Amino acid sequence: MQYRRDTETPARPDADLAAEAAARPGRRRDPAVDEAVKAAVLDLLTERGWAGVSMDGVAARARVGKASIYRRWSSRVQMVAEAITELNLSGIDRPDTGTLHGDLLVLYRAMITSLQGPLGTASRAVLGVLPHEPALAEAFRAGPIAVWSDAFTDVFSAAVARGELDPARLGTVAGEAGPAVLMTRWLVTGQPLDEQLAVDVVDLVALPLLLSR
């Protein structure tokens, strides 16, 4: 899909564009521009890594004017973190199966799907630089990581309300063990991320730890 390039004066410094955008009265964001920018961020992270993503580069890839970028985001960190956060949100199907077992299966399947796709490839490019980019690390924790944390918290809270789960288990490492298995395979060992893994993580790791007394 092609998007209209906003009219702009290329010679103007980025700082001037950012200042003008911040001072300009708010206007409704065009969803088409937002989608184009998210797709561009994903593409550039996949192709070039974190170092290859810039405000100018995203504007060019998304075929929008730099002014449109600066009206929405004040920095590369904010732009990338928001794009990945929103893409993670769209990949989560909030479960309501009526059981902790069923809800966890839904979440782990969704996580595996995300890690195996373009979003996972782009996220890997960002994760590698987090130790050297404190602002990005904080934005990533507050964004994409928080999205999944909130989803698991909702599932655990629902299980507590149904009487399936002891609230004392919340906030312990029992809830972190399952995602840790997935992340280890994804980032370190390269072992398969598949349907059987989702089942094994729920049946052999998550539930035994969460339901143990």
pLDDT (tens digit, 9 = 90+) per residue, 149-200?
Answer: 999 999 999 999 999 999 998 888 999 999 999 999 999 999 999 999 999 9
Q: Which pTM does this prediction carry?
A: 0.78
Q: Give the Cα separation of 35 and 125 in Å (integer).
A: 20
Burial class (CB in 10 A: 0-12, 13-18, 19+), 60: middle
Judged against a pLDDT cut of 90, whether residue 29 lies above it is answered with no
- Contact between 111 and 174 under an 8 Å Cβ cutoff? The reply is no
The angle subtended at Cα 139 by Cα 188 and Cα 106, nearest 5°, is: 55
Q: Quick count: other Cβ atoms within 10 Å of Cβ 28?
A: 5
| Three-state SS at 33 | helix
Judged against a pLDDT cut of 90, whether residue 140 lies above it is answered with no
